[in-house]
Amino acid sequence: MKLQDKVAVVTGASKGIGAGIAKAFAGAGAKVVVNYAKDKMRAAKVVDDIIKLGGDAIAVQADISIKDDVERLFQETLNSFHRIDILVNNAGIYDVTMLENITVDNLHANINTNLIGAILCVQRAAHFMGENGGSVINISSTVSINPMPGTLVYAATKAALDNVTKVLAKELGSKKIRVNTISPGITETEGSHEKGFMGGEWEAQLLAQIPLGRIAQPEDIAKAAVFLASDDAGWVTGERLQVAGGQI
């Protein structure tokens, strides 16, 4: 129970990696806020799964690209659990768009959620973390350093998020707040299936890049998140941990 009695906010936790992290945190003893933007039913299912296993969780709707929503997310966390110890910035927009098809709306949507939203969440979380500090985990991607065609905007936002981690680790260290990045490779989620990444030639090409020989599951990423959120990583900050089975 490495996170016993801690309170964690996980953004974009209604499915995929976020849901996996939320469940793993609860299994490690944390009280969890399952944030979602639109999918209330999936968020409720994550909360229900946690409660059935003896954990404690609530779902809170908030679009993290909207400042008022972010403030409400953290206020509802305090109203329910009275403290904040851990933030996982997982919410994000991912699409494959070639240069000629990128629009201003596409640019703003990615930047507003993947970058601005993450910064707004750290700002509020840091304000409420107590004298013992806390842990912030930003979910980046292997494409932040090894981008593929069609990931221009997404890769740019994730590279920026990597640098947000480095800057905030230095800014917030005096408050005992650790800030780290997890960079997953291709992971089997509802989203990767919906976008057609699973099955066929695309999956075969990605699999060929992974020395450990399989596609990641959300639980693989969640284990790393539990480590970074726990006291086991008490001397770890400003780091980028790639969790990708050796994928380059």
Provide the annotated active-site residues. 154
Alpha helices in 56-117 (DSSP H): 67-81, 104-110
C-alpha of 133 from chain center: 19
Sheet architecture: strand order including 56-61? 56-61, 31-36, 7-10, 86-89, 134-139, 177-184, 240-243
Cβ neighbours, 10 Å, residue 20: 25
**Sign of the CA dihedral 239, 241, 120, 148?**
positive
Q: Helix, strand, or coil here: 168?
A: helix
Q: Helix, strand, or coil here: 241?
A: strand
